[in-house]
């Protein structure tokens, strides 16, 4: 409604009814749009750096050397015996149990 009250011919000739008091509505909108775009550009940079960090961060183990086995009720009941039996092998460095793996896939 505010913008529709202007007479287009007077605006195009550079004559406006608005005085020089304070900022015009148009200036405020342009500044708001500029500030919003700068904030969004900064947010894109931060998110990009975070994604790059997650892709390149060392997990502390070699993913190809990890074996994930689906669980069964029998394995859960005899978990300690199963772990000790696996650790008897000198090539196995560690054994652990979890309901979820870091990838988020559920183990039953």
pLDDT tens-place string over residues 1-40: 566 666 767 666 666 555 555 678 888 899 999 999 999 9
**The predicted structure's pLDDT at residue 11:** 65
Query: Are residues 13 and 34 located together in one domain of the fold?
Result: yes
Q: For residue 61, give both structure tokens.
A: 């183990």
Query: Among candidates 102, 91, 26, which has minimal Cα distance to 68?
Result: 102
**Same domain for 107 and 64?**
yes
pLDDT confidence of residue 24? 81
DSSP 1: -
Measured on CA atoms in the order 23, 29, 32, 37, is the torsion positive or negative?
A: negative
- The domain in which residue 32 lies consists of 3-56
Residue with more model confidence, 76 or 52: 52
- Residue partners of 98: CB distance under 8 A and separation at least 6: 107
Q: Quote the pLDDT of residue 16.
A: 59
Q: Do 52 and 12 fall within a single domain?
A: yes
Residue 38: half-sphere exposure toward Cβ, Cα within 13 Å: 6
Does 21 lie in the same domain as 46?
A: yes
Q: Which residue has the higher pLDDT, 51 or 100?
A: 51
């Amino acid at each position: 409604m505010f913008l529709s009250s202007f007479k287009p011919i007077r605006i195009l000739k550079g004559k406006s009814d608005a005085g020089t008091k304070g900022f015009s509505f148009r200036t405020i909108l342009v500044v708001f749009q500029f500030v919003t775009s700068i904030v969004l550009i900064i947010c894109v940079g931060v998110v990009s750096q975070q994604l790059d960090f997650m892709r390149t961060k060392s997990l502390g183990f070699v993913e190809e050397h990890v074996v994930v086995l689906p669980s069964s009720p029998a394995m859960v009941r005899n978990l300690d015996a199963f772990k000790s039996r696996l650790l008897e092998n000198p090539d196995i460095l560690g054994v652990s149990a979890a309901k979820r793996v870091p990838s988020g896939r559920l183990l039953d």
